[in-house]
């Protein structure tokens, strides 16, 4: 277990396509443990493997309901729409307004490489979309509807807004 360095925007690795995980190995288990540790250490709600410099299709998420690990995830269905604030541990100190589906169904493998499906709404649906985008080398900054804002700006405008970084 350990904290890994989070790659930041401008690092080419964040723009690359990730590869499927063919089987679970000790090395991959350690990576997943480190990704969870790093996400919690940085107060993020999600983290994708390329953010720690590994081009594998692995995502960890915790929106406050416990850790979720997605291996080789795919979005299979989306419903509705939500528009709201989004941030990213790879784009520190910034946030933007992004429209995402309100509800998302994902198909993935767990740490035992067993397939499962899961539905998420609201923040969890947003996290699924944001993290799976990372696996294709996409950052939310290219989807932000009104450009990027500084976090300090957010705190002045809305005191009760929760900051989420993925």
Per-residue tokens: 70? 């997605």
Q: Which is nearer to Zn ion, 24 or 143 (CB)?
A: 143
Is position 131 annotated as part of the catalytic site? yes
Per-residue tokens: 5? 């360095």
Q: Which 8-state DSSP code applies to residue 40?
A: H
81 with 125: CB under 8 angstroms? no
Q: Is 144 in the site for Zn ion (CB under 5 A)?
A: no
Site for Zn ion in 73-132 (CB under 5 A): 88
- Judged by CB under 5 A, the number of residues near Zn ion is 2
At residue 76, the 3 state secondary structure works out as strand
**In the complex, least distance from residue 40 CB atom to Zn ion, rounded to whole angstroms:** 15
* Active-site position among 86, 131, 165, 166: 131
**In the complex, least distance from residue 81 CB atom to Zn ion, rounded to whole angstroms:** 20
* Count of other CB atoms within 10 angstroms of residue 106: 24
Q: Which is nearer to Zn ion, 34 or 166 (CB)?
A: 166
Residue with tokens 């946030």: 95
Q: Is 62 in the site for Zn ion (CB under 5 A)?
A: no
Q: Which is nearer to Zn ion, 87 or 101 (CB)?
A: 87
DSSP letters spanning 46-95:
EEEGGGGT--BSEEEE-SSS--EEEEEEEEEEEES-EEEEEB-TTSTTEE
**In the complex, least distance from residue 101 CB atom to Zn ion, rounded to whole angstroms:** 17
List residues near Zn ion by CB under 5 A. 88, 166
Catalytic residue IDs: 131
């Amino acid at each position: 277990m350990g904290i890994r360095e989070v790659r930041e925007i401008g690092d080419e690795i964040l723009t690359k396509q990730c590869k499927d995980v063919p089987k679970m190995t000790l090395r991959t288990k350690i990576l997943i443990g480190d990704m969870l540790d790093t996400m919690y250490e940085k107060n993020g709600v999600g983290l994708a493997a390329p953010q720690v410099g590994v081009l594998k299709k692995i995502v960890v998420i915790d929106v406050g309901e416990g850790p979720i690990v997605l291996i080789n995830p795919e979005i299979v269905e989306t419903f509705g729409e939500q528009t709201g604030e989004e941030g990213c541990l790879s784009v520190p100190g910034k946030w933007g307004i992004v429209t995402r589906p309100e509800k998302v169904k994902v198909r993935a493998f767990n740490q035992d490489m067993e397939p499962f499906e899961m539905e998420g709404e609201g923040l969890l649906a947003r996290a699924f979309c944001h993290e799976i985008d990372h696996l294709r080398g996409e950052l939310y900054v290219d989807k932000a509807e009104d450009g990027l804002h500084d976090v300090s700006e957010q705190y002045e405008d809305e005191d009760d807004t929760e900051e989420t970084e993925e």
